[in-house]
């Protein structure tokens, strides 16, 4: 994390830092190499084929070696509850390896270990820890790995964002664009509920999970999962009503549809004749087939004819949905990497490795969109969190959403030497470490969803761990406890299910906006009170504008007084049309000519009641200026259906000048001046980083800590140091402090 921080600073700023205080920067680098509190693995509790080995290059001269079996249990402590980054220094022997990882008894999936003759840093970026003693446990999956030491430090979580939130298909339908826009609005603030239906009815019918949820919680899920594998299979497929059920779910119930593609192929492709119908038992979607995915994209081969027949059948169904204005979250060729690396796939589409798989994905995308004309799809690609996972990524041009399939309530225990059997354990971790790792792995380009899951976690864990999954989609109940993912309390208890579906954080079917597929700037997230429990729940409301309104907005001005002193900001209250876009400026004069006039611009959207409150920074306004003017430049409502905007009237109804302080006590805070020398420069950023890395050696006074907290007011973190670096590079002024993390993200993006 610290190395990434330094990369963001930029070469010019770092050059300045070296000139100002080369010794201080050198010290920070040393402190960061220590990475917070340090714990040697040779002090861990070990079992099985794990031994302590000597090595001069290892920290402390020793390390742990894991071969064919065993566990490593390392105990460590932290001072307070919170989110932490763990960094494990390890290396795989004879290739990249992966092992099972648990923290405080809860599975966190697997830790990917790169091949190394030494020890490489492996960051686990977002782990929830409790004050006092905690445990990290690594158990053998692949074995043959070496472990040196681990460091623990408070996590600085990356902002939950996606830079690409419009469909990659430039010809996407308006409904598809609208659904993506809605996703972008709620991403990181809410989670959409989802439930997969069972193929072809299964042992208990298609509706059992959905009626269970309705009866238990009072709500249906917002998303319903479908599958086109059986229907579109050339070898045995027959119509199963998936398309009709999608139309009913979306058109009649106003829900969201997602579909996967468990496409079976002949197990013995060499003896299969094109066009033959064979029994289901002679087909598979596993890797146990000679069906070649590389041949599937070569025109004229048996594999290509088979695959093209499947895609053509599929496109016929998608175009029926397209004609009805129905978009689908489309998740084909999922879980391609399987158990990790180039040979870990358990599906036929990944059996020949990452390059062939990417070619197959792109071929599938181009065939369905460009050749067969389906433009109602949101393309979702499945990632894992292995060191090699990004090798399988088809690229930003062919993916809309990245999904992760979460199954971490099943652990494998060694029943006898070298014989491992599955065992269920309740694990409601939000696996935020996986969420942030995937987001970082793909440069925050795409929204990240929990495309499949056993346990959907809990509201408390999702929000406290800040795991911003776009949606979850619980897999169907398979008829026995070990695969009854929804109803078996080892996965999801009734209490957790009720809390999730009735929470403000989770969006259910009845809380989706009525014009979900005509989404535009006129939709805002608001709260309502339900009749059943008088509890505030989150929903989306819309306002339809009158395009025949002849009102034309004219600029409005309001003179205001600025009391003397250092003014932090001015809060402006406006009333106007519901869901209106309103903008203007806070203006003031520093002299007698028009050139002396300065505008500080602002904008925002009114809520469903037509109210808007904006806060404008006033730190740049000289204290000698005691009069200013609030100007409103526009007020209009956008109608996405007609793509027109209509002017609407509004008025400023109140304003308030805000001073820095707590209550009526004005604090003598010079934001950014961590070392209290009366200046804001690189030395302050260096001291903040030093104090975070080694607080015993580099401490801040109470006043210095108040000065240093320039981002979000949530305590002194490395984000504060980064913000001060932008002052040093003259990107912003210290008078702009304090700022929000969103403003800091914008500076980093620029």
Fold of 37-154: Jelly Rolls (2.60.120)
Q: What percent of the chain has pLDDT over 90?
A: 56
Q: Which residue has the higher pLDDT, 569 or 451?
A: 451
CB 602 within 8 A of CB 617: no
Q: What percent of the chain has pLDDT over 70?
A: 87
CA 436 – CA 444 distance, rounded (Å): 9
- The helix (run of H) or strand (run of E) holding residue 423 is strand 419-424
Q: Which two tokens stand for residue 646?
A: 């209509």
SS3 state of residue 656 = strand
Query: CATH 3.20.20.80: which residues of the chain?
Result: 174-529
Mean pLDDT along residues 62-75: 95
Note the residue count of the chain. Answer: 750
Mean pLDDT along residues 508-529: 66
Q: Which residue has the tokens 């925002």?
A: 604
Mean pLDDT of the chain: 85
- The helix (run of H) or strand (run of E) holding residue 691 is helix 682-693
CB 329 within 8 A of CB 258: yes
Q: What CATH number belongs to 174-529?
A: 3.20.20.80
Q: What is the pLDDT of residues 406-449, one digit of tens each?
A: 998 877 666 676 666 678 888 898 999 999 999 999 999 999 99
Confidence tier at 621 by pLDDT (50, 70, 90): confident
- Cβ neighbors of 394 (< 8 A, separation 6 or more) are 358, 361, 362, 365, 381
* pLDDT of 8 over the 50 cut: no
SS3 breakdown of the chain: % helix, strand, coil, rounded to 5?
Answer: 30, 30, 40
HSE toward the beta carbon, residue 477, CA cutoff 13 A: 22
CA–CA distance from 296 to each of 290, 353, 371 (Å)?
12, 14, 16
Q: Which residue has the tokens 């006898």?
A: 416
Query: CATH 2.60.120.260: which residues of the chain?
Result: 37-154, 556-658
Q: Which two tokens stand for residue 574?
A: 């406006």
Q: What is the pLDDT of residues 373-407, one digit of tens each?
A: 999 999 999 999 988 999 999 999 999 999 999 99
How many other C-beta atoms are found inside a 10 Å radius of the C-beta of residue 695? 11
Q: What is the pLDDT of residues 229-265, one digit of tens each?
A: 988 999 998 888 999 999 999 999 999 999 999 999 9
For domain 556-658, which architecture applies? Sandwich (2.60)
Q: Which residue has the higher pLDDT, 10 or 147?
A: 147
Is the peptide bond preceding residue 646 cis, with omega within 30 degrees of 0? no
Q: What is the pTM of this model?
A: 0.64
């Amino acid at each position: 994390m610290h190395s990434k921080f330094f990369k963001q600073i930029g070469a010019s700023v770092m050059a300045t830092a070296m000139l100002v205080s080369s010794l201080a920067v050198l010290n920070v680098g040393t402190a960061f190499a220590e990475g917070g509190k340090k714990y040697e693995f040779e002090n861990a509790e070990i079992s099985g084929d794990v031994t302590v080995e000597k090595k001069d290059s290892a920290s402390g001269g020793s390390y742990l070696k894991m071969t064919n079996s065993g566990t490593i249990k390392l105990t460590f402590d932290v001072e307070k509850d919170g989110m932490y980054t763990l960094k494990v220094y390890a290396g795989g022997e004879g290739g990249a390896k992966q092992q099972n990882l648990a923290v405080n008894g809860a599975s966190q999936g697997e830790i990917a270990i790169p091949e190394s003759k030494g020890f490489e840093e492996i960051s686990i970026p977002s782990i929830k820890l409790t004050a006092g003693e905690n445990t990290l446990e690594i158990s053998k999956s692949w074995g043959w790995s070496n472990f040196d030491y681990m460091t623990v430090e408070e996590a600085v979580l990356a902002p939950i964002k996606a830079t690409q939130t419009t469909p990659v298909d430039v010809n996407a339908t308006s409904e598809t664009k609208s659904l993506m826009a809605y996703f972008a609005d709620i991403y990181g603030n809410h989670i959409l509920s989802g439930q997969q239906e069972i193929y072809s009815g299964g042992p208990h019918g298609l509706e059992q999970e959905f009626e269970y949820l309705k009866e238990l919680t009072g709500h249906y899920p917002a998303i319903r999962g479908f599958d086109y594998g059986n229907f579109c299979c050339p070898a045995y497929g027959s119509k199963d009503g998936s398309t009709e059920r999608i139309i009913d779910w979306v058109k009649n119930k106003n829900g969201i549809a997602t579909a996967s593609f468990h496409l079976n192929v002949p197990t013995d492709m060499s003896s299969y004749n094109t066009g033959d119908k064979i029994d289901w038992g002679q087909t598979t979607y596993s890797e146990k087939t000679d069906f070649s995915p590389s041949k599937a994209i070569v025109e004229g081969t048996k594999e290509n004819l088979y695959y093209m027949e499947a895609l053509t059948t599929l496109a016929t169904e998608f175009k029926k949905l397209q004609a009805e204005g129905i978009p689908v979250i489309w998740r084909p060729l999922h879980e391609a990497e399987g158990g990790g690396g180039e040979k870990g796939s358990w599906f036929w589409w990944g059996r020949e490795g990452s390059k062939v798989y990417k070619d197959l994905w792109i071929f599938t995308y181009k065939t369905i969109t460009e050749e067969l004309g389906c433009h109602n799809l949101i393309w979702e690609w499945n990632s894992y969190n292995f060191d090699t996972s990004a090798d399988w990524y088809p690229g930003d041009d062919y993916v809309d959403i990245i999904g992760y399939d979460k199954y971490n309530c099943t652990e494998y225990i060694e029943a006898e030497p070298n014989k491992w059997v599955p065992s269920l354990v309740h694990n409601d971790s939000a696996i935020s470490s996986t969420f942030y790792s995937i987001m970082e792995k793909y440069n925050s380009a795409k929204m990240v969803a929990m495309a499949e899951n056993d346990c959907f976690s809990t509201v408390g864990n999702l929000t406290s761990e800040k795991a911003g999954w776009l949606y979850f989609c619980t897999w169907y109940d398979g008829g026995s406890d070990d695969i009854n993912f929804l109803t078996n309390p080892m996965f999801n208890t009734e209490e957790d299910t009720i809390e999730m579906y009735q929470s403000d954080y989770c969006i259910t079917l009845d809380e989706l906006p009525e014009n979900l597929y005509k989404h535009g700037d006129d939709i805002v997230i608001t709260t309502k009170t339900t009749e059943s429990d008088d509890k505030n729940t989150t929903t989306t409301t819309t306002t339809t504008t009158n395009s025949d309104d002849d009102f034309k907005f004219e600029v409005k001005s309001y003179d205001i007084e600025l009391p003397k002193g250092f003014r932090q900001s001015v809060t402006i209250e406006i009333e106007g049309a519901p869901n209106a876009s309103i903008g203007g400026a806070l203006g003031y004069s520093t002299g007698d000519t028009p050139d002396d006039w300065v505008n500080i611009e602002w904008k925002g959207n009114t809520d469903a009641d037509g109210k808007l409150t904006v806060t404008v920074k006033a730190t740049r306004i000289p204290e000698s200026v005691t009069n200013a003017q609030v100007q409103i430049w526009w007020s209009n409502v956008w109608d996405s259906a007609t793509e027109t905007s209509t002017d609407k009237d509004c008025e400023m109804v109140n304003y308030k000048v805000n001073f820095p302080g707590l209550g009526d006590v004005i604090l003598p805070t010079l934001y950014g001046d961590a070392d209290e020398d009366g200046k804001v420069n690189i030395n302050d950023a260096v001291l903040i980083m030093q104090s975070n890395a080694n607080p015993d050696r580099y401490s801040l006074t109470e006043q210095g800590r108040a000065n240093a907290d320039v981002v979000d007011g949530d305590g002194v973190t490395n984000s504060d140091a980064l913000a001060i670096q932008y002052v040093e590079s003259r990107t912003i002024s210290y008078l702009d402090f304090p700022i929000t993390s969103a403003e800091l993200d914008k500076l980093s993006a620029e």
